[in-house]
C-alpha cells in the first residue's frame, strides 16, 4: 500500500515537535543539522523542516555522547571517520581507540568527583559541629576556632573560606579639584615675587 505524501508528512515531526520530544532547543536542533549530525527527512509545502520519528533517537544519541564528554565537532569527526573508512575493521579499530580514550577520561573524571565527594563530606562533618559552638562570636572568631571538631585540621574547602583575609588596599584615586578651589587658594596664598638682582 502506497502512503500518500500528505499522510507521510503527517507522520513526520516539525522542528518544534522534535525539540519538545528531546528536551532540546530549536536552535540546538538547527545546530546539529548545520554540523551534519542530523538531517531532516523532507520539508513541508510551507518550507518547514520535517524529521522522521527516528530523529528522536538520533538527538538522544547526540545528548548521550555529549554527556560522555564528546564535543559536537568530535561527533562530526567521528561520523566522518566512520563513513570515510575504506574497510569495516579499520573503522572499528578507530572507533575502539576513540572509545578507549573516552573511557580513560571518564574514569579520571570519576576519580576527581570521588575526591570532591570526600572533601565535601569532610567539610559537612566539620561544619556540623559548629551547630553547638562553645564560644559564639562574629566570623572573625572562626579564624582561630579552638572548638574540637573531631579532626586534626580544617578541611581544605572550609579552610579556604575561614582563613584570615589579607588586608586589601583599595587603589588610590586622583582627587577631583574644582577650578573655584584653585582660585580661592591662590587668593589666600599669593605667590611671593622674587626681585631680580640688578
Q: Per-residue confidence at 183, pLDDT binned at 50, 70, 90? A: low
Same-domain check for residues 159 and 90: yes
Q: For cell 513526520, name the residue.
A: 12
Q: Residue 181 domain-assigned? A: no
What pLDDT, on the 0 to 100 scale, is given for residue 10?
A: 58
In a domain, 101, yes or no: yes
Task: Report the C-alpha gap between 147 and 152 in whole angstroms.
Answer: 11
**Across 42-51, 55-64, 171-180, least confident range:** 171-180
* pLDDT > 70? residue 171: no
- Name the residue with cell 565535601: 120
- Specify the number of domains making up the chain: 2
66 plus 89 within the same structural domain: no
pLDDT of residue 142: 74
Task: Give residue 159's domain range.
Answer: 85-163
Mean pLDDT (whole number) for 83-107: 88
Q: What percent of the chain has pLDDT over 70?
A: 77
Q: Are 68 and 102 in contact (CB under 8 A)?
A: yes
Mean pLDDT across the stretch 72-90? 87
Same domain, 112 and 55: no
Amino acid at each position: 500500500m502506497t502512503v500518500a505524501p500528505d499522510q507521510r508528512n503527517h507522520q513526520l515531526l516539525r522542528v518544534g515537535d522534535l525539540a519538545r520530544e528531546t528536551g532540546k532547543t530549536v536552535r540546538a536542533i538547527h545546530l546539529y543539522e548545520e554540523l551534519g549530525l542530523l538531517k531532516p527527512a523532507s520539508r513541508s509545502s510551507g518550507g518547514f523542516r520535517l524529521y522522521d520519528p527516528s530523529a528522536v533517537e538520533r538527538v538522544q544519541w547526540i545528548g548521550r555522547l555529549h554527556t560522555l564528554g564528546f564535543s559536537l565537532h568530535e561527533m562530526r569527526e567521528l561520523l566522518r571517520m566512520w563513513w570515510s573508512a575504506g574497510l569495516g575493521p579499520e573503522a572499528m579499530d578507530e572507533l575502539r581507540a576513540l572509545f578507549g580514550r573516552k573511557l580513560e577520561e571518564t574514569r579520571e573524571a570519576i576519580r576527581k568527583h570521588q575526591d570532591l565527594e570526600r572533601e565535601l563530606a569532610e567539610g559537612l562533618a566539620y561544619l556540623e559541629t559548629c551547630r553547638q559552638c562553645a564560644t559564639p562570636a562574629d566570623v572573625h572568631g572562626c579564624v582561630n576556632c579552638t572548638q574540637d571538631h573531631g579532626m586534626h585540621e580544617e578541611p581544605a574547602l572550609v579552610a579556604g573560606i575561614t582563613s584570615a583575609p589579607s588586608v586589601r588596599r583599595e587603589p588610590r584615586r586622583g582627587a577631583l579639584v574644582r577650578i573655584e578651589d584653585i582660585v580661592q587658594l591662590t587668593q589666600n596664598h599669593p605667590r611671593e615675587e622674587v626681585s631680580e638682582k640688578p
